[in-house]
Structure 1
């Protein structure tokens, strides 16, 4: 199986620009940016709750713990939110209710949580519309990993 395409800044801007034309532009942009700037997998994005990312006072956390049940391999890990991602999530917060910490961070069009498969399909639809035939839900994660200091391998 082929590795997911990584995207450069111009390609990412193209994806984000396309997201602005969609039915849920801020949600879709936020999902893309969580993939690119936090390196989360589709399963992990689908499993995020409001309480993972926002505290009891509805303030955005600088970092959060991805629980073992939410991650691949069943291990907890700390997820750090950089300034660009924090800005996007703060904008997204203005479009959702933050009162229930257990509700999905990213609700599907039906109002419930996305499944991992549905998040994957969302990524594929967006990337296909942008002309990236080798991009997938893993593209953001691969791009994130390759930009990390000290990364030396493929």
Structure 2
């Protein structure tokens, strides 16, 4: 099975523009950027509840603590929320009228909880509609890890962020691209 495509910033912007033309644009943006700015797996995104993301005072948390039941490997982990993602999550939250911390944070078009498979299909349809071929629900995760590696973040830190127990797994996510190679050669 081929690896998910790593998207360029221009492609991410293309997807965001397309998503803004669809129903629930704030949700769409928040979902896309949650994938690209946290590197969470689609099943993890589908599993997060309002109480995982939102503090009692209604503000967005700095980090999400995923339980073992919410992660692929059955090991709890912490996902850090960047400030630019917080703004997107706040904008989306203004469209929701829920207060129960046990309710799913992201909803389907029918206002139901996404299943992991349903969210995979949602991402696939979104990328196809935006004209991006080869992308999947895992593209945000691969793109985030590659982007951080390109900025010089060490593989050990990347493994921690991704929730990998082995750096060998993390290394498979890093997609060497021409810009990375050019920058490396400038270090000589």
TMscore range, shorter length = over 0.9
Question: Which residue matches 2:25?
Answer: 25
CA offset digits 1:125-145 (Å, max 9, x no partner): 110012222000000000111
2 CA distance for matches of 1:37 and 1:98? 24
Query: Which residue in 2 is equivalent to 1:63?
Result: 63
1:153 is paired with a residue whose SS is helix
Superposition TM-score, scaled by structure 2 size: 0.79
The answer to whether the Cα contact below 8 Å between 1:58 and 1:98 also exists between their aligned partners in 2 is: no
1:131 and 2:131 matched: yes
SS of the aligned residue for 1:118 comes to helix
Structure 1 segments of 4+ aligned residues over 4 angstroms from their partners = none
SS of the residue 1:46 aligns to = helix
What is the CA–CA distance in structure 2 between the aligned matches of 1:153 and 1:58, rounded to whole Å? 37
Give the alignment's TM-score, normalised by structure 1.
0.95
- Residue 154 of structure 2 aligns with which residue? 150
Please say which structure displays the higher CA radius of gyration. 2
Residues 50-86 of structure 1, C-alpha deviations (whole Å, 9 max, x = no match): 0000011111101120111111011111111111111
C-alpha contact 1:48 1:104 (8 A) present in aligned 2: yes
Partner SS state of residue 104, structure 1: coil
- Alignment partner of 2:136: what SS? coil
Task: Compute the displacement of 1:98 (Å).
Answer: 4.1
SS at match of 1:84: helix
Moved more, 91-100 or 136-145: 91-100
SS of the residue corresponding to residue 128 of structure 1 reads helix
> Structure 2: which 5+ residue stretches go unaligned?
156-169, 173-188
Structure 1 residue ranges without an equivalent (≥5) = none
Matched pairs, number: 154
